[in-house]
Amino acid sequence: MDRATPRMSISARLHRLLSEATLEGVSLTSPAMRTSEWKRGQLLHRAGDAVAELHFVTEGLVAILGRARGGAAEAGLVGPGGVVGYQAMFGAAETRADAVALTSVIAMSAPRNAVLQGLQRSATLRRELFDYAAQRIAETEQLCVCASLHSIEQRLARWLLQAAALLGPRPVEMTHQQFASIFGVRRASVTTSLHLLEGEMAIRCLRGRIEIRDLPRLEALSCGCEAAQLSAAAGARRPQPPQTACSSASSTDSPRD
């Protein structure tokens, strides 16, 4: 898998931008921003919570779980350079899904109003956040297809590839029960599927973590939806911010940024 993917390049640019930019005219190191931390299994928010802050993840993995009658299932995965609560940019006042820390997570948390004002002031921030949102939407669409058509072992391989792209080569700290919750299946089914991937020498299962042994082999065993997500995201039309918001704000960035 090519690590220089569109998803990763946008996340990397966004992460770098947030380290240098300002929101509402104040530095991100000021009291308007705060560092937030969650332990494995803690909720960043529940479905139906008011969106008071956006969380810009710097370390760890966050599962976005959509809920319906009978349970929950994956609706996205957020890692370093990603944003939890990006829907607030489009006017959402409440969250529509759970956000759960799969590992220990560290994020820079920004007040909703500060981010919205920052979007009006900075053309660069606008561009990067709207590109990120377009990719997240494309990812969710592809996950709907993946859950309907592909086996658990294929979906596990796809998920591990995505996690590796976000976290790098270090082991993924996940339990079988966490995978069962994400995929909406029985724990025993996850255990069987992981053993199949391990038997193919693609991964090594340890207590509470998984190591990727052979990335090309894992790609071959995957359903291919990770590549499809990246392809769809690269071709997605970038959403444009409301014309009134842009025209009424005095941008601090050049349109060519």
Going by pLDDT thresholds of 50, 70 and 90, the confidence category of residue 15 is: low
Yes or no: say if 38 and 101 are a contact pair by the CB < 8 Å rule.
Answer: yes
pLDDT reported for residue 17? 61
When mean pLDDT is compared across 23-32, 37-46, 52-61, 203-212, the lowest value belongs to 23-32
In this prediction, residues 121-135 reach a mean pLDDT of 85
In this prediction, residues 198-215 reach a mean pLDDT of 94
pLDDT surpasses 70 at 250: no
pLDDT surpasses 50 at 198: yes
DSSP 252: S
pLDDT reported for residue 33? 77
pLDDT reported for residue 222? 95
Q: Identify the residue with better confidence: 43 or 237.
A: 43
| Distance, CA of 179 to CA of 133 (rounded, Å) | 25
Q: Identify the residue with better confidence: 236 or 70.
A: 70
pLDDT surpasses 80 at 256: no
pLDDT reported for residue 238? 41
pLDDT reported for residue 116? 85
Give the DSSP H or E segment for 30: none
- pLDDT tens digits for range 160-172: 999 998 888 889 9
| H helical segments located in the chain | 6-20, 112-121, 123-149, 152-167, 176-183, 187-199, 215-221, 225-235, 243-248
Q: 156 in helix, strand or coil?
A: helix
pLDDT surpasses 60 at 26: no
pLDDT surpasses 80 at 79: yes
In this prediction, residues 186-195 reach a mean pLDDT of 96
Give CA 209 to chain center in angstroms: 20
90, two tokens: 């489009």
Sequence-distant (6+) residues with CB within 8 A of 80 are 11, 15, 57, 58, 59, 60, 166, 167
Going by pLDDT thresholds of 50, 70 and 90, the confidence category of residue 193 is: very high
In this prediction, residues 123-150 reach a mean pLDDT of 89
Q: Name residue, tokens 């339990």.
A: 175
Mean pLDDT (the chain) is: 81
First-to-last alpha carbon distance for the chain, in angstroms, is 29
pLDDT reported for residue 170? 87
pLDDT reported for residue 177? 92
pLDDT surpasses 50 at 134: yes
| Distance, CA of 241 to CA of 251 (rounded, Å) | 13
Strand 71-78, strand 83-84: pairing: unpaired
pLDDT surpasses 70 at 7: no
Torsion from C-alpha of 21, 24, 28, 31, nearest 10 degrees? 170
| Distance, CA of 108 to CA of 248 (rounded, Å) | 28
CB atoms within 10 A of CB 207: 5
Tell me, letter by letter, the H, E, C secondary structure of 89-104. HHCCCECCCEEEECCC
